[in-house]
Amino acid sequence: DQQVKQNSPSLSVQEGRISILNCDYTNSMFDYFLWYKKYPAEGPTFLISISSIKDKNEDGRFTVFLNKSAKHLSLHIVPSQPGDSAVYFCAASGNSWGKLQFGAGTQVVVTP
């Protein structure tokens, strides 16, 4: 039962433009959401997170938006850079502290 869904397996964006990655979840008990970036044959790298008491969190080029009523969050990367080409995972945590449920990932390719 996939509780965290990333329905877009891939995204191609031009360098300098905005990348928007989407994530939906089904479990209303989730109260903390995270985005990770992963290169092949490496472990995921933490990017940004958001608590359910907020609807936006910003860190440099990365902004995460949370819409609790829609059970939807998104990650905006602007401007996109070639080094942003990677797989991005959305993750959620709920009442089992520390356990993360991951989405399937979205492969982002930033083209020159």
Partner 1 sequence: GAVVSQHPSWVICKSGTSVKIECRSLDFQATTMFWYRQFPKQSLMLMATSNEGSKATYEQGVEKDKFLINHASLTLSTLTVTSAHPEDSSFYICSASPSGLTSPEQYFGPGTRLTVT
Q: Binder to partner 1 among 23, 64, 66, 100 (CB under 8 A)? A: 100
Write the DSSP symbol of residue 13. Answer: E
Placement of tokens 């479990």 in the chain: 27
- Burial degree of 50 (CB within 10 A; 0-12, 13-18, 19+): buried
| Residue 7 makes contact with partner 1 by CB under 8 A | no
- Cβ closer to partner 1: 14 or 28? 28
Q: DSSP states of 77-97 as a string?
A: ESS--GGG-EEEEEEEE-SST
Site for partner 1 in 15-74 (CB under 8 A): 32, 34, 36, 41-46, 49, 51
- Cβ closer to partner 1: 98 or 112? 98
Residues that bind partner 1 (CB under 8 A): 32, 34, 36, 41-46, 49, 51, 89, 93, 97-105
